[in-house]
Chains A and B, each alone.
Chain A
């Protein structure tokens, strides 16, 4: 009887505290703290500035330079005295919002105002979820370049497959198809299948696409670029992803050597006749490099940016890393919003990829004269139809 009583009492206590019990990995979020904090409760957590004497032995960390900080043992920090605002020159007035730190709540016993979540400004599939039938991607949430600047200045951007996207050689339609723009979700295409033996350690299978393709702008902008041929476009601006040096300019590529990370960024298919940089130029992150185009060493590809990052990886050495997560993070920063990740939809299909026989899959799927003619004919017809039917600018 006593045993049951003891178990019952303990169980009631556990049940009562149930909402506060959380185990690592249980997938549940911690509850909100109660609004009413009883008297005598500890104050807010200590400041995040470095501790001057963490071991209480009188020695301070020379790196932190915090020897002059007070070492108050009282866990409840004192409120700093309110100082007069020298800019307005008057006495301290608690009612004056200028003297009251813009009306901010400085009472540690009151709950903080919840922060509004950033608005959703784009949607994206998870890393490694490639276009159906285009290969097996790398499922990796690592942001390899957390401080990267998005490589497109301010226009809408749509990372995704060129070859398997509309207008690509493994799909239908023209490259200016409205479904390539607007609200179309982003897609990873690092590791997408290529015919040449481009093996790279971070891809689960060989013959892989070593960067991320990015369409830029709107359908209308795309049609303008097509209509202006053979002139090369200067419509959409491409910028430096990191501060560094323009290391090398090839016939259709630009190498940017990052100063801080040691990363190498490779930009392909810009308008090579209108570059805004020269070799050995020093650039800051966000500086203009050039414009989106279709240059590919003579034979054009689709209008897009092919963007690569090579990092000196631990235990591997310099290699291509997936740009996708860094692009997501940097676009969120650029737009002051957030991307909404969509659930994995086609991984089962993508992992069962079988390369088609007799098809040479290259960047943009434009590699032979025959492909060029076919592409031009199809595109001309589709663009003509689209022009008649589409009067709504994007």
Chain B
């Protein structure tokens, strides 16, 4: 081997060993793969790579389809009692269409007098309706919090029911805004076989919501 070819071999080795990472360092294992083959031994060592993987989610504002909301508001059959909740044309109308129940709440207060309030917020509004078995809290927001790219999305228009530690909730998107309707049990928390609201009842309550205010 000549001097020059020896030099070339040395250089090639340098390229492989020094400049380019070894295969071990650039493993294509996903976190899930790593999880599967992780050593379960109870070693507690500092993880120096943690700082590099942190991401930050910053909320942004959604585009609201006001035309669709106004069309629905104009076309829906409004029961007489809904007029009491109509908050269209308010000077500082919320930044999302306001959805409210056609009736104050299915389970009325113990004295028969419904109690409710609507509170405009700078991202939308919320409304609270006091009931007997549960209180109902409606949230509407024009904020969007991004999620990581590999997160499987859901049908945003679908009514998604979840039980919670205080009762249940239904979430959905409409007119570009995010809505959450909470059913908060009064008194004790939901038991092992009994909640203060069933899925059918909660979904029906949400389906009864009407557009009560637009910009």
Contact = CB atoms under 8 A, between A and B. Distances in A.
Interface of A: 1, 4-5, 7-8, 10-12, 14-15, 18-19, 21, 23, 25-28, 123, 126, 139-146, 185, 195-202, 210-211, 245, 247-248, 250-253, 255, 257, 259-264, 266, 268, 279-280, 296-299, 306, 308, 310-319, 321, 325, 340-349, 351, 360, 362-363, 367
B40 A343 contact: no
Given A253-B166, A257-B126, A317-B171, A264 B189 contact: no
Contacts of A255: 137, 182
Interface stretch (B67-75, B80-88, B156-164, B202-210): B156-164
Contact of A4 (B4, B26, B59, B190): B4
A27 B48 CA distance: 11
4 closest A-B pairs by beta carbon, nearest first, are: A11-B11, A315-B153, A262-B143, A4-B4
Given A140-B148, A247-B137, A248-B128, A362 B8 contact: no
A139 B50 CA distance: 12
Nearest to B18: A18
A264 B43 contact: no
B114 to A, nearest CB: 16
A248 B188 contact: no
Contacts of A343: 43-47
B10 interface: yes
B164 A198 contact: yes
30 contacts: A4-B2, A4-B4, A8-B4, A14-B19, A28-B25, A126-B50, A144-B145, A196-B192, A211-B165, A248-B137, A248-B184, A251-B187, A255-B137, A255-B182, A261-B143, A262-B59, A262-B142, A262-B145, A297-B189, A298-B187, A311-B59, A315-B153, A316-B151, A317-B171, A340-B46, A343-B46, A345-B42, A347-B38, A349-B40, A351-B35
B47 A126 contact: yes
A297 B187 contact: yes
Given A297-B189, A340-B46, A316 B147 contact: yes
B56 A210 contact: no
B31 A139 contact: yes
A262 B119 contact: no
Contacts of A21: 19
A360 B191 CA distance: 10
A128 B173 CA distance: 28
Contacts of B123: 259-262
